[in-house]
Amino acid sequence: MPVRANRLALLLTVAALPAHAQTPTHAPPTGDPVADTVRTGAPLPARPDVPSPGPQAQLEPAPAGDAALLEPQAVDAPPPPDPLDDALLPGRRRPGAAPAALPERVTQVNPGAVAPPSPNAFPEHEFAVPDRWRLVHALCPDPLYTAVHAVCRSKRDPYHQNLLKGDIPLDPAKVGPLPITGHDWFLVLSGISDTVVEPRSFPTPVGVQTTSRPDSLDVFGKTSSIVFSQTFTASAALIKGLTAFKPPEIEYRVTLAVNYNYAAIPERRILSVQPSRPPHRHDAFVGVQEAFVDYHLRNVSDRYDFDSVRIGIQGFQADFRGFLFNDNQPGVRLFGNRDNNRFQYNLAIFGRLEKDTNSGLNDLTRTPRKDVVFLANVYRQDLPVPGFTSQVTLAYNANRERRNIQIDTNGFPVRPALLGDLRGRNYDVVYAGYNGDGHIGRLNLTASGYVALGQDRNSFFTSRPARIRAFFAAVEPSIDFDWLRVRGAALYASGDGNPYDDVEGGYDAIVENPIFAGADTSYWIRQSIPFAGGGRAIGVNGRNGVLASLRSSKDQGQSNFNNPGTVLFGVGADADLTPQWRLSANVNHLSFANTATLQALRVEGSIPREIGWDLSTAAIWRPHFTQNLVFRLSAAVLQAGRGFRDLFAQSNGSRRYHSILANAIVTY
């Protein structure tokens, strides 16, 4: 019946043509009566299964009431062109935008090229396919489909379609106790092994009660040490929805991390507060890094602009590079997008869990901290130019830990910090910032700026309330030359110019983990330098942090706005030698913004600002062109400047400190 209907429609179309369009042709007959009738204009031969319309049958005129249907209908005028479309690359347009005139047809002339295979060269077998996800697997039994035999492998193969990584929906009849129905539930399992071996050196204070080298009379001992860390991360997610083209309807996710670490340092009372403990340590810990439910509230457009809410322990990064807040903490987050994903937003509130001191993992066995973070940010793509995304961030950190005395895993006090009057503090601080990331023409650009405004209820220098007035700015431009990217970097975090007044001007973040100026390849960002002589259990900077904030701990300590600030200028380059190999190099010059705080804590008349030169290089190897196997080897050297040598002077001491990092990441 479908064939008959199509042929009848074809005849009616021909009958409606003008007379000159029905002129018989002299083409030879094809054997198909319908086709020959169309070609020659001859009457259609009678068929026994189709009733003849008879000689008097004619098309009836349309009723008068239907005449309006034949009138030209008014159509909505197209929307005015967006001025951003004019700046897009040739041949590109935004989703939903009206297409421009099509280009002229391209005619390829390729003499001597191999002709395409004929249709007879392809198999004509039919296969039963249970659903679209198993389409390729349905071809596995046929020996002619040799090109797809790579997917017909073990179910444990992570490089091809796999039920365990969410490529194929679960069968409700085979999931056991899981309460799922329908064929739109997916299971995603993943595992990561992260191995770190890190020989390093830094100024190591001699223990107060005892030392590993009794004949040493210096303030600082030997500098070399080594750290080994092995972390296994396992994650499981149950997701409902057709996630290939729209947000999931609901997601349940749990991620656990197991860490073993070993550290050896030549001085006592560095790894443990007890001087009787040996200068090496074995430690292990299990942390819960994710445990959340993500629920899709609604779609607001036919292109799946949406609103969703996520509740539980979850990762969140407040800006592009992790300058302000980058952590896994319990919270409630409302997020979504608009305008074909050109506009995105986040509204979130996070509490803070205690961290294990040596692994940095979440510790659910301790009472959560009295520290709350409220965050709101919005992203706008193509602002101010196409290819560049602008973000505005507003954050409020309310800390109420004045009466909370906290000792870390190794026995050292972390709250309150052992600085100044040693009293606990409450503080309220609001961060307002702008961040941008993208490209302007050939120039790639990342920029960030924050102001911190608030009140510290007890400055540890004056024991009086103090206003917080600090600011931060960072920029990283880069440009690509084929396989080479050349980068620049500049950062300024304000320092406190007068620790004894009622204004704290040193900038500090909530929890920073920056990807900037070489990131943890850099010596300064990777290592934490003890601030000996001006405070106990205090670091000049934090591990995997760029700010000289004088905190007891980046993870467990409080923000400190009585600090010397940080100034960084640097250049770097990334060279993609092959799809497997990348080489990077960075040269950064570091200094304090203001040393007034250091002078007050050290009771010194003057301390130079220069920290020194940080030189680093790294090689990254991805043997299978993917992120499943990543091996990295990096080395960094800090050539100490005048200010660093003033703080950590030692007789016959080195002016160079090193950091070597061997890292292997295996992901399944």
Question: For residues 526 and 84, what is the distance between their CA atoms, to the nearest angstrom?
Answer: 41
Confidence band of 65 (pLDDT split at 50, 70, 90): very low
| DSSP assignment of 470-534 | EEEEEEEEEEEETTEEEEEEEEEE---S-TTSSEE-----SB-----TTGGGSHHHH---B-TTT
* pLDDT value of position 625: 87
Task: Specify whether the CB–CB gap between 145 and 170 falls below 8 A.
Answer: no
Question: For residues 332 and 337, what is the distance between their CA atoms, to the nearest angstrom?
Answer: 17
Residue 2 has pLDDT above 80, yes or no: no
Q: Which are the contacts of 439, defined by CB distance < 8 A and separation ≥ 6?
A: 387, 388, 445
Token pair for 133: 């996800």
Token pair for 472: 């931060």
Q: What is the mean pLDDT of residues 434-455?
A: 97
* pLDDT value of position 416: 93
Mean pLDDT is lowest, of 70-84, 119-133, 342-356, for 70-84
The Cα-based distances of 431 to 407, 450, 484, 497, 499 in angstroms read: 28, 6, 36, 20, 21
Radius of gyration of the chain (CA): 34
Residue 186 has pLDDT above 50, yes or no: yes
* pLDDT value of position 88: 57
* pLDDT value of position 61: 46
* pLDDT value of position 494: 97
Question: For residues 362 and 609, what is the distance between their CA atoms, to the nearest angstrom?
Answer: 36
* pLDDT value of position 69: 42
Task: Specify whether the CB–CB gap between 289 and 328 falls below 8 A.
Answer: yes
* pLDDT value of position 35: 43
Task: Specify whether the CB–CB gap between 403 and 411 falls below 8 A.
Answer: no
Percentage above 70 pLDDT, the chain: 76
Confidence band of 445 (pLDDT split at 50, 70, 90): very high
pLDDT digits (tens, 9 = 90+) for 192-245: 999 999 999 988 777 665 666 665 555 666 788 999 999 999 999 999 987 667
Q: Which of 490, 476, 434, 453 is nearest to 319 (CA)?
A: 434
Question: For residues 243 and 308, what is the distance between their CA atoms, to the nearest angstrom?
Answer: 14
Residue 388 has pLDDT above 50, yes or no: yes
Residue 53 has pLDDT above 60, yes or no: no
The Cα-based distances of 424 to 399, 419, 458, 464 in angstroms read: 11, 10, 8, 12
* pLDDT value of position 303: 87
* pLDDT value of position 545: 94
* pLDDT value of position 27: 43
CB under 8 Å, gap of 24 or more: what pairs does 279-284 form? 279/212, 281/358, 283/358, 283/359, 283/409, 284/258, 284/259, 284/260
pLDDT digits (tens, 9 = 90+) for 327-336: 999 999 999 9
Q: What is the mean pLDDT of residues 531-560?
A: 90
Residue 191 has pLDDT above 90, yes or no: yes
Question: Strands, E, within 300-352: which ranges?
Answer: 306-317, 326-338, 343-352
pLDDT digits (tens, 9 = 90+) for 628-666: 899 999 999 999 999 999 888 765 556 899 999 999 999
Q: What is the mean pLDDT of residues 381-397?
A: 95
| DSSP assignment of 11-43 | HHHHHTS-GGGG----PPP-S-HHHHHHHH-PP
**In a 3-state reduction of DSSP, which class is residue 146?**
helix
| DSSP assignment of 628-644 | SEEEEEEEEEEEE-HHH
Question: Strands, E, within 353-495: which ranges?
Answer: 369-380, 388-400, 406-407, 413-415, 426-440, 443-456, 466-481, 484-493
Task: Specify whether the CB–CB gap between 634 and 660 falls below 8 A.
Answer: yes
Q: Chain-wide mean pLDDT for the chain?
A: 83
What distance, in Å, lies between the first and last C-alpha atoms of the chain? 53
Percentage above 90 pLDDT, the chain: 58
Task: Specify whether the CB–CB gap between 186 and 239 falls below 8 A.
Answer: yes
Confidence band of 181 (pLDDT split at 50, 70, 90): confident
* pLDDT value of position 361: 96
Bridge-based pairing of strands 610-621 and 185-201 is: unpaired
pLDDT digits (tens, 9 = 90+) for 274-307: 888 888 999 999 999 999 999 999 999 988 899 9
* pLDDT value of position 23: 40
Bridge-based pairing of strands 250-264 and 566-576 is: unpaired
Q: What is the mean pLDDT of residues 84-93?
A: 61
pLDDT digits (tens, 9 = 90+) for 115-171: 777 777 776 666 666 677 777 666 676 666 666 666 666 666 666 777 888 888 888
